[in-house]
Amino acid sequence: MTLTRAVWAQGIHGHGAKRELAMKTAEIREAFLSYFEQQGHTRVGSSSLVPHDDPTLLFTNAGMNQFKETFLGLETRAYLRACTSQKCVRAGGKHNDLENVGYTARHHTFFEMLGNFSFGDYFKREAINFAWTFLTEVLKLPKERLWITVHTSDDEAAAIWIDEIGIDPSCLSRLDEDNFWQMGDTGPCGPSSEIFYDHGAHVPGGPPGSADDDLDRYIEIWNLVFMQFNRDGAGELHPLPAPSVDTGMGLERIAAVLQGVHSNYEIDLFQTLIKATASALAVADLEEKSLRVIADHLRSCAFLIADGVMPSNEGRGYVLRRIIRRAVRHGNKLGATQPFFATLVPVLVAEMGAAYPDLQASESAIVKALRAEEDQFARTLDNGMAILEEALSSLEGAVLPGELVFRLYDTYGFPVDLTNDIARERNLTLDVEGYDEAMAQQRKRSQESGSFKVDYNESVTIPGETQFTGYDSTEGSGTILALLAEGEMTQSLAAGEQGVVVLNSTPFYGESGGQVGDCGLLQGDSSRADVTDTTKAQGHHFHHVQVTAGSLSVGDVLTSTVDNALRERIRLNHSATHLLHEALRRVLGNHVVQKGSLVDSERLRFDFSHGEAVSAAQIEEITHIVNEQIRGNSATTTQLMDMDSAVAAGATALFGEKYGDEVRVLSMGSQGFSVELCGGTHVDRTGDIGLLLVTGESGVAAGVRRIEAITGKAALEQSLASSQRVVDVAEVLKATPNAVVEKASVLRSEVRELEKEVARLKQKLATSSGGDLTQSAVEIGGIKVLATQIEGADVATLRETLDQCKNKLGTAVVLLAAVEGDKISLVAGVTKDATDKVRAGDAIKEFAGRLGGKGGGRPDMAQGGGTDVAALPAALAAVPDWVASQLA
């Protein structure tokens, strides 16, 4: 290892000194972006790790993610050339190599992807020239170390490389599948060209396309994708009118090459993190794999939290939780006894905060969230450990059952590798097969119940865009562009059928930004369809309809009418959501970020990041702030502007909303109280909302709270109804409405006093009557037998009395009964010194049976009941004889 490292460290020019002079990771990032800016590219910020509007993608995993719609032609940008340094996360989902991270040279959960993009502007020639110039002139990589691959069909690219760049044909491979890229089974695709770096003959491995090309000598550093075809549903390729370019170069890889190191973990950025971790955990060996795991995971966790993901038990939050816990486990392996992970955050922020201001701004939130999760995990481990110890104490044999291992993991979150460590310490092994079997069943269950929501993005392609006219009007007309039935394109929909109508223009709002879609009516000359919902996909509004008369055909012109009353109520709720959001931020703090929202005609629901329950006092304050804004009755303004201006104006972007170049900025409340990007429909003046009333506050997931509220007429009615309830309560309590609380609390303490008094009296009654009752006991074979009825006693009193009787009688058998309505309660007691002859349980079974009931208990005390009140005197009279029979 040491030898190999020395060889690697000789670096690209063959002498180790260069490593010291090599560009830092941050300098490479900046060099890339400024080079492409000079080539006419717009420097675009990294998009969030949480992809908006793409449910198929767990996390942003490539530079092109934020441009997907642009490549598909569904949206246009203000520029034709762009360059980015995109933060990416790969964990969970399809390519889940979480377990490899830290143990290989180039696997990461988080990485940065440098990319330059052309949207129908330049193509292969320029893309290749840019890449070559940047690598050889800006980064000064030696040309002879670079190896090129081109698709078998792509003579054009091969010719550019060989004839124009001057690549030696022997350093160029023509590959098939490795050099073809596609977004999905259909859609844009094309050949790619990759640039490899040759670490030199002293490293094992062959050039791309050879048998041992997966070894470390040739490392892919840059992938240039030439999007020139559109693949249709039948698999046919059609040339795109405006071919595009998408490239990607892993920042950590190129840094490793430039710094002359073998593993990405040896670049300056990672070394800083690793050293900080080693120092925090007092670990001397910097080669320790666990340090790499922690350094890698620190990056993904911090950036995910900065983008609003919080540890939880599902979806993205769950992936984050797993990464955090894996990091903490590795810390524990290195001997950590205290929470350490969160303490590393400042080091990361110092290293990367300049390039990612969001990270810097979220520092305290990241520390808080990581610390909380570390504490939670520690509790989980303690708990699991206790259960494991318990199971081990009664274990027979030397194998831990798979079922137990699985249950520890599944139910209590106790990591299997930890179970394994503990088992090994005690010379035990795990039943891995049984564990795998249980896990396979769990997977099967989950998959079988997966949802089957139709994803129109996958099944059909509709060109163009629907024009939305609904901000100004709730009526309009439009031509049918397409009809869908059961997810398939169709030419017509007949009366009685359900389907989807796509128009070229519509006033119907499509579900987005948490606001539900509009309902209403579509009418043709002789046709009519009810719109039950409107959704958005591919830039189009999908009207989900039930045809009620005539039939609809592609090309028909329809009159569209939105259900105005419904729309009006939705507007109130949606506008109130914006005021609520800002009020929450002012009262609870700026860490409040929208995590989801649902706005319909009945109510509004707003989910946001916040660590603890919102107190009643805080809710009151929030309600005041919102209603103050409503009473202010200021005009709502919407402005279209580009994204940069919007951010400059202080606009907050809403989660789940897709923004094009031109965004709609909504200002509401006095003096720009709330400024947000939003495409929804809103009130003209805040006063239209009338009133906002919070109806509930609850938790959705760890770190996420939910507030539900109502507005307008509904809020007023609710408010009136609760006032009326107070009046009603006051009447029942015989108090004035203003004094109900006081009255209720007085009554409650009175009830308490009375209950205590009753308990005292019962006790007294039991003591005195116990004494009286003992008079009537008869003696059978040396045992005093007492069987009697007590008026008005309950079960607790019977028991008390029973104890008193036993105390006073010495050796005794006692049976006491009380009648309430048509129900008889029985208790039986036998003093300890007689339980070997007579058992209380037997007595109860016998006499409860005679009274049409059942009962049971211990030998010295038993309870039961019956219903045959008439038979009670005879039953009690028979007790002495029964005792005699037991003694016989």
Partner RNA sequence: GGGGCCAUAGCUCAGUUGGGAGAGCGCAACACUGGCAGUGUUGAGGUCGUCGGUUCGAUCCCGUCUGGCUCCA
**Interacting residue ranges for RNA, rule: CB under 7 A:** 313-315, 318, 321-322, 325, 376-377, 380, 383, 407, 409-413, 439, 442-443, 445-447, 449-451, 698-699, 702, 799-800, 802-803, 823, 825, 829, 844, 848, 853-858, 860-867
Nearest approach, Cβ of residue 264 and RNA (Å): 26
User: If you count them, how many residues does the chain have?
Assistant: 888
Residues 651/639, Cβ–Cβ less than 8 Å: no
Of residues 371, 359, 312, the one with CA closest to residue 112: 359
Residue with smaller CB distance to RNA, 233 or 699: 699
Of residues 550, 562, 557, 561, the one with CA closest to residue 480: 557
Residues 405/419, Cβ–Cβ less than 8 Å: yes
Residue with smaller CB distance to RNA, 200 or 810: 810
Residues 115/63, Cβ–Cβ less than 8 Å: yes
Nearest approach, Cβ of residue 854 and RNA (Å): 3
Nearest approach, Cβ of residue 848 and RNA (Å): 7
Residues 658/69, Cβ–Cβ less than 8 Å: yes
Tokens of 374: 């570390």
Residue with smaller CB distance to RNA, 235 or 450: 450
What angle in degrees, to the nearest 10, is found between the helix axes of 289-306 and 268-281? 110
Nearest approach, Cβ of residue 379 and RNA (Å): 7
**Using CA atoms, how far apart are residues 518 and 599, in angstroms rounded to an integer?**
11
Strands 540-549 and 498-503: antiparallel
SS3 455: coil
Residue 829: exposure state from Cβ atoms within 10 A (0-12, 13-18, ≥19) = buried
Strands 42-43 and 81-89: parallel
Residue with smaller CB distance to RNA, 63 or 855: 855
Residue with smaller CB distance to RNA, 242 or 751: 751
Residue with smaller CB distance to RNA, 239 or 821: 821
Residues 356/84, Cβ–Cβ less than 8 Å: no
Residue with smaller CB distance to RNA, 453 or 734: 453
Residue with smaller CB distance to RNA, 443 or 734: 443
530: number of CA atoms within 13 Å, CB side?
Answer: 6
Q: Which amino acid is at 707?
A: I
Nearest approach, Cβ of residue 53 and RNA (Å): 19
Nearest approach, Cβ of residue 447 and RNA (Å): 5
Q: Which amino acid is at 770?
A: G
504: number of CA atoms within 13 Å, CB side?
Answer: 11
727-762 burial, b at 16+ Cβ within 10 Å, e below that, comes to eeebeebebeeeebeebeeeeeeeeeeeeeeeeeeb
Nearest approach, Cβ of residue 453 and RNA (Å): 10
Nearest approach, Cβ of residue 406 and RNA (Å): 8
Residue with smaller CB distance to RNA, 114 or 805: 805
Residue with smaller CB distance to RNA, 679 or 853: 853
Nearest approach, Cβ of residue 823 and RNA (Å): 6
C-alpha distances out from residue 866 to 45, 338, 368, 821, 881, Å: 79, 61, 61, 11, 20
Nearest approach, Cβ of residue 858 and RNA (Å): 6
The secondary structure element, H or E, covering residue 617 is helix 616-632
Residue with smaller CB distance to RNA, 336 or 691: 336
Residues 560/507, Cβ–Cβ less than 8 Å: yes
Residues 169/157, Cβ–Cβ less than 8 Å: no
**Using CA atoms, how far apart are residues 268 and 277, in angstroms rounded to an integer?**
14
Residue with smaller CB distance to RNA, 208 or 308: 308
Tokens of 35: 């080079």
Nearest approach, Cβ of residue 322 and RNA (Å): 6
Angle of CA points 439, 443, 446, to nearest 5°: 140
Nearest approach, Cβ of residue 311 and RNA (Å): 8
Residue with smaller CB distance to RNA, 56 or 867: 867
Nearest approach, Cβ of residue 414 and RNA (Å): 8
Residue 285: exposure state from Cβ atoms within 10 A (0-12, 13-18, ≥19) = exposed
